[in-house]
A and B are shown apart, each in its own frame.
Chain A
């Protein structure tokens, strides 16, 4: 054991193996069962082809690494390729969750054809390298037993299928539901949300309504799995179910015409006027160093994330507008972009650390440390739109210990006037002098450039 070796806090539910970190690398310690399972599946073509295509995380056995101390005797250690930034399903957009569902079903289908199965089906098994989904839980692949049912079916419905249906059928954002309960939406709860028309949609009667009814019934025989096996349950039935689920998920779409911010970049007058100068400023900053991780806060259509991606290893494009993020993901996914990961997050209400001891699913600041942050035309929304205190916002930005490119928007700007149009102006603390004094105390102003709109200024801020 080395001093920097720690178990991943969110990896404990499956006793057959446990993920740990050592010297910046990711490893999986396998127990006896875990090793047996991995030995049985690692040569199967769905695993090898998945790794070759990047759809399954590259995994190799290592002998020189010892897991952190624990009561469990581990039999082997695997090393996984590192995912640049771990993200959670309640930070994803609709299309990201849909891609995660399709990847899970695709791997399950191929596994079944080779007499293996995925023993669970949580979206936490999928991560994104840029906009490309990668299945990371190799411990989920196990050999299939005769007459075995798919243990992950309920989990698939609760954490992938129902949230997708909720977004597609009801146009209700799924993220707060997944964030509110890590086990997802139960069949009974989701069934109660459906109206008469919904029951004519594909999958509603079987996977939702009947699922809820059967869940609420008390079993006459205590060991259903034994009885199902004795009654002739076979792998073809799981395969039929998987193919049906694939048809349903592929048929789910979410295409609202527009949202508050979906056309902001292309229609906002100040944005259009300042765009060229802003791009030059940001391009200069991006070229000035080899950045590890860039956060583009309020990324909108991702114009500046794309600039950053030319010089950075990883870019997180963050916006609270779901539709904008979804469109950005679709564009990046079509390009197979492996640098920019879009996320849905409201900075004034970000996803907190959740789960067991509040350490199982940690907040973004625990998972990613940026060295460059874009905060472009955002600060007036945080202070005036979300009622945050200006000193607090500057203090939070400084706490990231990163270089910050900040666009300050004056009170005379049309966007600020719009924000204040229908509310009393209680934001006397939001003014250029106060801003400059706070920024001077928290950062070193390395560069400052007024934009042609006359109401906006770009600042390059270095951490003190």
Chain B
């Protein structure tokens, strides 16, 4: 997020509300939602892998 976006967000938009905006944003929004979900899935795998390596160390 760039600095401009940070200054705008005095209001907590809410995690679920952010995700829902993609779902209710039409078919292109659904694509964005699933793409985000896939990226999150990959991120969680990478995080778990990093945690495992760190615990072994």
- The size of the chain B interface, using a CB distance under 8 A, is 36
* A110 interface contact, C-beta 8 A: no
Q: In angstroms, how far is the closest chain A Cβ from the Cβ of B17?
A: 4
In the complex, which of the residues B2, B28, B32, B33 has the most CB atoms of chain A within 10 Å of its own CB atom? B32
Whether the Cβ atoms of B13 and A153 lie closer than 8 Å is: yes
Whether the Cβ atoms of A237 and B40 lie closer than 8 Å is: no
Closest residue of B by beta carbon distance from A37 = B8
- The size of the chain A interface, using a CB distance under 8 A, is 50
Please indicate the chain B residues that have their CB under 8 angstroms from the CB of A149 in the complex: 13, 18, 21
Whether the Cβ atoms of A207 and B24 lie closer than 8 Å is: yes
User: Which A94-153 residues have C-beta < 8 A from chain B?
Assistant: 119-120, 142, 145, 148-153
B1-40 interface bits toward A, Cβ cutoff 8 Å, 1 = contact, 0 = none: 1101101111111111111111111101101110110011
* A432 interface contact, C-beta 8 A: no
Looking at chain A's contact residues, the main secondary structure is helix
Whether the Cβ atoms of B39 and A221 lie closer than 8 Å is: yes
Whether the Cβ atoms of A227 and B36 lie closer than 8 Å is: yes
* A238 interface contact, C-beta 8 A: yes
Q: In angstroms, how far is the closest chain A Cβ from the Cβ of B39?
A: 6
Whether the Cβ atoms of B9 and A206 lie closer than 8 Å is: no
Whether the Cβ atoms of A151 and B9 lie closer than 8 Å is: yes
Please indicate the chain A residues that have their CB under 8 angstroms from the CB of B20 in the complex: 153, 206-207, 210-211, 214
Which of the residues A142, A152, A219 comes within 8 Å of B15, measured between beta carbons? A219
Give bound CA distance, A234 to B9, whole Å.
17
* A197 interface contact, C-beta 8 A: no
- B residues engaging A (CB < 8 A)? 1-2, 4-5, 7-26, 28-29, 31-33, 35-36, 39-41, 43-44
- A residues engaging B (CB < 8 A)? 13-16, 33, 119-120, 142, 145, 148-155, 157, 187, 206-207, 210-217, 219-221, 223-234, 236-238, 240-241, 244
The 6 closest A-B pairs by CB, nearest first: A237-B25, A214-B16, A215-B16, A154-B17, A240-B26, A231-B35
